[in-house]
Structure 1
């Protein structure tokens, strides 16, 4: 019987490896890592409530009002910029850890120790004042990556007696530093900067992320995932704004090549920075979270995941019809803006954020990619 079980286990592993691009294997999970907490930094891809509790501007965010959250348990708009769960939620489920409370939830029992979500929708990697010097404004929040790191420091300062105590408390925690940087590029592009001008920002954005990872390690993190950015040239909001005349501007998936090239450049520099951090911190596992290829594999295998590819580049919650169902003047959450019949068959929720189903598929891909690299059976502390 033991040999039969071993054979079946090996066969399942082979099947997962061969068919992961089409059918993510639910049997794979982060439970074997025995994480007891997840700490998240980032932007609207990960925010579970911070922005809408930050002040009047945040309170007015559509993400805090229906139809956002319509597929979340209980049908509540929680501040998640989707119809339901986000990747951080699915990662928590895969790790069998309760959802980390968002930092500005003053009623949260943080002493439970299941982690904290510091991400803020609209947050940038670079401080707002640095972007302002480049004539780039952030209309959503001043809680950039640096501010989130300060929050994290305050939190750990409150639960740790000293550095050694923090190292001990965090030895079974997973740290997610991002996805972030997408908002830096978004604000710059939509405020009139050319792609070449925005490309010149990439080294500074990546340096801000690299510095953040080093700070997180300084707090005591031993396993860190640093996600890259998505291929924004496939997103309805960008396809609508930067629609090109000729077919040469698009790739075989009808995504904008120059915008995807910008993201690819960011991801390339980010991976180099992660490699450098790994050499400087050999006692820490620092991994690149390949959100770009998680999205690409989902997009290529769309029908096998149940997606209606006629909606692949359309906002499920949007207006205007046409190729993208996106009107910048009547976005999701505005009066009279409808939701598509079945969000589970759509990739994009509101033109810039994705549906719960899309986040689920991409998380499955990500977990399968990361699990062998996390060294969950290795003892890192003190090595």
Structure 2
């Protein structure tokens, strides 16, 4: 939706054969983490599509886009780099074996990995960045399903979200914004913008009717019953996806993503607003 509003073509996947990437490439992969797969090997982690791997794909693609240092600095200097959102998968995989308190010390490592990746891109000539924060995972249906025995006091009485898990996300976002401030200080030539995912999603969770969503906002449109995933034979599909916030529990619906894109783009020309979902520094 951001590309459409800016009048740009949809960004093709970087591994597409015979693709043209002069106007953008998408390196994203489902379930990608910030931390390398080696960190998760104790949990038999099945994937190897971390932020580091995606950077390697970018560096492999680079020679097809520019050749000399001067040419690359000019090309990437007028490009926009979206870095993330990273972190949510790192934490979600840890929820399988660890408590929120055990995961909290991992946050600085995730932030450091994101910050290092941005500096690596700057060395290639990148100067324009959008870096999204993480989502309120305590509201995500798959995460809620992981904790069926949570005590009533662990849920927000208004939204039904798990409070401690959302506080983990807010902690991540606080440290990420601090890290981006430091990057701006070290690289004044770079434009590094933090993009808030947490706030717009919580707005939709707290006031679903305002955005055209049904009141049972924490239910998914595609998936179930039981452990059936969206796309599995026999999985349920809601009649009105545009009236739901969550598509499959992991991803939001197009209606939700359109609203988030509008919030981000509209905020470019308006004064920065402090999120209501911000931990105190």
- The normalised TM-score by structure 1 is 0.68
* Corresponding position: 1:185 with 2:91: yes
- Is the CA contact 2:82–2:130 (under 8 Å) kept in the aligned structure 1? yes
CA spacing shift, 1:245–1:136, aligned 2, 3 Å: closer
- 2:64 is equivalent to residue 153 of structure 1: no
Distance in 2, matches of 1:245 and 1:262, equals: 16
Match of 2:28, SS state, is coil
Q: Does 1:125 align with 2:31?
A: no
CA contact (8 A) 2:204 2:245 kept: no
The equivalent of 1:5 in structure 2 is none
Does the C-alpha gap of structure 1 residues 203 and 137 become closer, same or farther in structure 2, counting only changes over 3 Å?
A: farther
SS at match of 2:17: coil
Distance 1:298 1:364 in 2: 13
Number of aligned residue pairs: give it: 271
Task: Name the SS of the counterpart of 1:226 in structure 2.
Answer: strand
Q: What pairs with 1:193-272 in structure 2 (closer than 5 Å)?
A: 193-251=98-156, 252-272=158-178
Q: Partners in 2 of 1:367 and 1:237 — Cα distance? A: 29
Q: Which residue of 1 aligns with 2:276?
A: none
Aligned match of 1:65: none
User: Greater Rg, structure 1 or structure 2?
Assistant: 1
Match of 1:380 in 2: none
Match of 1:343 among 232, 241, 251: 241
Unaligned runs of 5+ in 2: 273-281
Tell me the secondary structure at the aligned position of residue 129 of structure 2.
strand
User: How far apart, in 2, do the equivalents of 1:282 and 1:319 lie?
Assistant: 49
Cα distance in 1, alignment partners of residues 222 and 201 from structure 2: 19
Change (3 A) 1:283 1:199: same
Question: Which secondary structure state, in structure 1, belongs to the residue aligned with residue 263 of structure 2?
Answer: helix
CA distance in 2, matches of 1:341, 1:319: 14
Counterpart-to-counterpart distance in 2, 1:337 and 1:214: 43
Higher relative contact order (CA 8 A, sep 6+): 1
Could you say what secondary structure the match of 2:95 adopts?
helix
2:278 alignment partner in structure 1: none
Instruction: Answer yes or no: is the 8 Å Cα contact 1:137–1:187 preserved in 2.
Output: no
Note if 1:138 corresponds to 2:45: yes
Q: Secondary structure at the match of 2:130?
A: strand
- Alpha-carbon RMSD across the aligned residues, in angstroms, is 1.7
> What is the CA–CA distance in structure 2 between the aligned matches of 1:157 and 1:114, rounded to whole Å?
15
